[in-house]
Amino acid sequence: MNLYAIILSFAAYIAVIIFITGFIGRLVTYFRTPAPLRIPLTPAPKTYFGALMRLFGNAIFFYPLLRKSKFLWLYGYVFHVSFFLVIMRHLRYFLYPVPEWVMSFQSLGVYAGYSLALSILFLFARRMFSDRDVYISLTEDYFALFLLLIIAGTGLLMHYYYRPYLVDIKSFSLGLTTFDWSAPSTDLLFIIHLLSVMLLVIYFPFGKLLHSGAIWFSPTIGKPDDISVRKYKNPWDKV
Amino acid sequence: MKRKVYNEVIYDEQTPLLNVPELVDNKTSNTVCFKSKAKDMEPINLPTERVPDWQNKAVELFGEMLDKYKGLRLFMDSCVRCGSCSDKCHYFLGTGDPKNMPVSRQELMRSVYRKYFTMQGKIFKNSKDCVAFDDNILKDWFTYFYQCSECRRCCVFCPQGIDTAEVTMAAREIMARLGVGTKYVTEVVHKVYTTGNNLGIWAPAWIDNCKFLEEELIEETGLKIPLPVDVNGAEVLLVPPSADNFVNTNTMLGYAKMFYAAGVSWTTSTFCNEGGNFGMFLNYHNYKTINNRILKAARDLNVKYILWGECGHAWRAGYMTRTLSGSMDFLTVKYPKHVCQFTNEMIKKGAFKLDKTANDHLKVTYHDPCNVARATTGMLEPPRDIIRATCNNFKEMHPDTTREKTFCCGGGGGMLADELMSMRMAGSKPRCMAVKATGANYLATPCAICKANFGESLKFWDTGAVVGGVHDLLSNALILNH
């Protein structure tokens, strides 16, 4: 164990703590904010179950986006699915022995790495060349994409060209979970990859990435239209 | 059908194309509502002039709104700027001003949110994405939040379900409580408190109008069909838009004939003869106070139940009645009910004898008012069923412009002011092009504001159609027994 291992491990812990407390804090705020006036979106389901199904449909298949443009839907969807697969693939660095189901994601995860990078490039290009998208894009949007591009790029480079010493990396990541800290490889690509991931994780609860949590509370998509059967009281203005 | 990704073409080849316009910065930044006057602000419980220390007060109010409305709280965080809504607003399609894209409209508010309520605003103090609440942004708020008709079309296309109407309402409430309102909206709200309706018709004039309409009916049908006013103990309290009594009188005659044929006793109230709730465009307090009047009128007249008339904003407010104004348990229909639902039920029961050929001179198409179709419970079928039951020639508009995807008439959300005429015509363009494509000569719609705006815009865009109510058609087709 050396100073390098301790600094990186602590940085990782701080990032994860900020992520968890920040994200859960936001979710709690969302949950506790009242929604006095019902605004379900037409055509609204009549029951809570129906609303839940619609919410899942929306959150998993993004179908309002499909109405807008199949192209945008495609790379938006590819991006999210690839991101999920890549995360699944990375579980093998944190689990020992590696379970069967994580192993089954390994080759898929590599392809997903490609599609992830490709879809980020598309999403980037969209914000560079379509004048309406240029107008609405903020620094934050470019920053998030840029960060993801670095993460995906360094990840792919490490897989194909400059492979760092994996045993060190795994003992570092496993060490994080067992509080037995060890130094990871000092490979520059790996350090960039790791630091960008930490930055992303820290940034997550403070920016647009909150959309992943916010959608579950949506008063438009996730609420049924049952005003004729159920009475809703306004908690801050009782009548 | 032609379709491009970033240049959505909404209509097929034979019909006029409506392309997404080029962006023109600040194209409508000069189309601003007149400012409210002290004589209107004072009686409706709002500051008559801008409150002292208004910048800080605004931030404080913003915080209060965030704590009160889950929608606002979520929508401030969850936009990813995907651009799905960017070509969906009729005002944007009509004008090309980028700030009329729903996302940029929200961004006016979100940039202030970021400055005061997020980490980003605290760390990057000079970022252009975080804007301090000052004169410039207030001017933009006043311009662009009063160029939104709260129609919620963008919400349908948003993968996060972000509802710009919620954002607009919150911004308007903050402005109103700072003492910044528009002359049109505050004047109308003031009129409701003095005369009971938006048009400022005093009770004697209302009664007189009803008498006049009764005479019309005698001339037309030879029958004594009543238009009762303030009848204690009637079965139904009808809350029409006051314009039905004064401008769109054919709709009022339609109600009268319908109730007569159905054998249901009904009444209007001179205390509350207006459903359209302009408090919704201003702040919660007035929204609620105006809505309370409906239940008070129902109690005072001892009616059995309430029917909301052909009015979009009335229906949106009415839909919230049990949350806003309390229980409706003293009535036999314990939830808000629209007159189109009632008429449709009656038609289904076979209560009316209908002669469809009476409407053969009309080629009818139906416009879903945003607040009837989308903003609330989604009343899509009842008005259509009434039209199908009363007309032979009924043609729907393009499916991308009807039902939950309907376009606003261009005048909703407190935008029916004369000084916004250019906005109203521009915002009406997508809808009028769709009407033109059907070749209809009659545009049926159950909303008084739609009727008012289409009255101008259908002519402006050369559609060859006139606008009218749904009950007008029923009125034509109804065969009454002598």
Pairing verdict, β B353-354 and B364-366: unpaired
What whole-number distance in Å separates Cα of residue B92 and Cα of residue B101?
6
Containing B218, the helix (H) or strand (E) segment is helix B203-221
What whole-number distance in Å separates Cα of residue B425 and Cα of residue A176?
63
- Please state the φ and ψ torsions of residue B365, each to the nearest 5 degrees: -130, 160
Q: What are the tens digits of pLDDT across the range B285-340?
A: 999 999 999 999 999 999 999 999 988 888 888 888 888 888 888 999 888 899 99
**Contact state of A33 with B67 under an 8 Å Cβ cutoff:** yes
Q: What percent of chain B has pLDDT over 90?
A: 48
Min distance A205 CA to chain B CA atoms (Å)? 10
Kindly identify which residue of chain A lies nearest to residue B65, measuring between CA atoms. Answer: A33
User: Which of A38, A41, A42 has the most B C-beta neighbours within 10 Å, making it the best mutation to test the interface with B?
Assistant: A42
Q: What is the full DSSP assignment across A139-150? A: HHHHHHHHHHHH
**Contact state of B101 with A135 under an 8 Å Cβ cutoff:** yes
User: How many residues in chain B?
Assistant: 482
State how far Cα B447 lies from the chain centre. 7
Q: Which residues of B332-347 are buried (b: 16+ CB within 10 A; e: fewer)?
A: eeebbbbbbbbbbebb
Residue B3's pLDDT is: 32
Evaluate the omega torsion of the peptide bond into residue B369 and state whether it is cis, within 30 degrees of 0: no
∠ CA B180-B184-B187, rounded to 5°: 85
Question: Residue A47, Cβ neighbours under 10 Å: how many?
Answer: 12
User: How many residues in chain A?
Assistant: 239
A60 touches chain B (CB under 8 A): no
A217 touches chain B (CB under 8 A): yes
Does residue B457 contact residue B236 with C-beta atoms inside 8 Å? no
**What domains, with CATH codes, occur in chain B?**
47-180 (1.10.1060), 197-482 (no CATH)
**Contact state of A39 with B166 under an 8 Å Cβ cutoff:** yes
Mean residue pLDDT across chain B: 88
- The dihedral sign for the CA sequence A225, A227, A229, A232: positive
Average pLDDT per block of 10 residues along chain B, 482 residues long: 34 52 85 89 89 92 93 92 87 89 93 91 86 91 92 89 92 92 92 90 91 91 90 92 88 92 92 89 91 92 92 88 88 90 91 89 92 81 92 88 88 88 88 87 92 91 90 90 72
B residues 146..175 contacting A (CB < 8 A): 152, 155-163, 165-166
Q: Which two tokens stand for residue B258?
A: 């319908």
Closest CA to B324 of B350, B285, B361: B285
Q: Which two tokens stand for residue A157?
A: 């480079």
Chain B positions touching A210 (Cβ under 8 A) are: 77-78
Q: What are the tens digits of pLDDT across the range A159-194?
A: 888 888 888 888 888 888 888 888 887 888 999 999
Q: What is the full DSSP assignment across B345-409? A: HHHHHT--EE-GGGGTT--EEE---HHHHTSSS---HHHHHHHHHH-S-B----GGGSGGGPPP-
Residue B482's pLDDT is: 66
Helix (H, G, I), strand (E, B) or coil at A165: coil
**Contact state of A140 with B120 under an 8 Å Cβ cutoff:** yes
Beta carbon pairs, A and B, within 8 Å: 192
B127 touches chain A (CB under 8 A): yes
Strand order in the sheet with B236-239: B266-267, B236-239, B305-308
Helix (H, G, I), strand (E, B) or coil at B269: coil
What whole-number distance in Å separates Cα of residue B86 and Cα of residue B101?
5
∠ CA A51-A54-A58, rounded to 5°: 140
Q: What are the tens digits of pLDDT across the range A99-152?
A: 888 888 888 888 999 999 999 999 899 898 888 889 999 989 999 999 999 999
Closest CA to A35 of B334, B109, B163: B163
**Contact state of B118 with A234 under an 8 Å Cβ cutoff:** no
Kindly identify which residue of chain B lies nearest to residue A236, measuring between CA atoms. Answer: B68
Residue A83's pLDDT is: 93
Min distance B66 CA to chain A CA atoms (Å)? 8
Chain B positions touching A58 (Cβ under 8 A) are: 159, 161
Residue with tokens 């392309």: B19
Q: Which residues pair with B238 in a beta bridge?
A: B307
Q: Hey, which bits of A93-225 come out as E strands?
A: none
Q: Which residues of B407-423 are buried (b: 16+ CB within 10 A; e: fewer)?
A: bbbbbbbbbbbeebbeb
Q: What is the full DSSP assignment across B277-308? A: -GGGGT-HHHHHHHHHHHHHHHHHTT-SEEEE
A228 touches chain B (CB under 8 A): yes
B residues 371..390 contacting A (CB < 8 A): 373-378, 380
What whole-number distance in Å separates Cα of residue B161 and Cα of residue A58?
9
Q: Which two tokens stand for residue B281?
A: 């465009």
Task: Determine the residue type at B59.
Answer: V
Task: Determine the residue type at A136.
Answer: I
Chain B positions touching A140 (Cβ under 8 A) are: 120, 129
∠ CA B58-B64-B68, rounded to 5°: 140
**Contact state of B380 with A42 under an 8 Å Cβ cutoff:** yes
Q: What are the tens digits of pLDDT across the range B106-121?
A: 999 999 999 999 888 8
What whole-number distance in Å separates Cα of residue B448 and Cα of residue B446?
7
B330 touches chain A (CB under 8 A): no
A35 touches chain B (CB under 8 A): yes
Residue A95's pLDDT is: 85
Does residue B454 contact residue B427 with C-beta atoms inside 8 Å? no
What average pLDDT does this structure show over A222-227?
85
A2 touches chain B (CB under 8 A): no
What whole-number distance in Å separates Cα of residue A190 and Cα of residue A169?
9
Helix axis angle for B312-319 and B284-300, nearest 10°, is: 90
Helix (H, G, I), strand (E, B) or coil at B59: helix
Domain ranges of chain A: 3-20+41-217
Q: Which two tokens stand for residue B1?
A: 């059908």
Residue B29's pLDDT is: 86
What whole-number distance in Å separates Cα of residue A190 and Cα of residue A178?
21
**Ramachandran class of B302: left when φ > 0, alpha when ψ lies in -120 to 50, beta otherwise:** left
What is the CATH number assigned to the segment(s) A3-20+41-217? 1.20.950.20
Q: Which pairs from B114-117 meet CB under 8 Å and 24+ separation?
A: B116/B59, B116/B62, B116/B63, B117/B62, B117/B63, B117/B66, B117/B76
Q: What percent of chain B has pLDDT over 70?
A: 96
A residues 169..208 contacting B (CB < 8 A): 206-208
**Contact state of A34 with B68 under an 8 Å Cβ cutoff:** yes
Mean residue pLDDT across chain A: 88
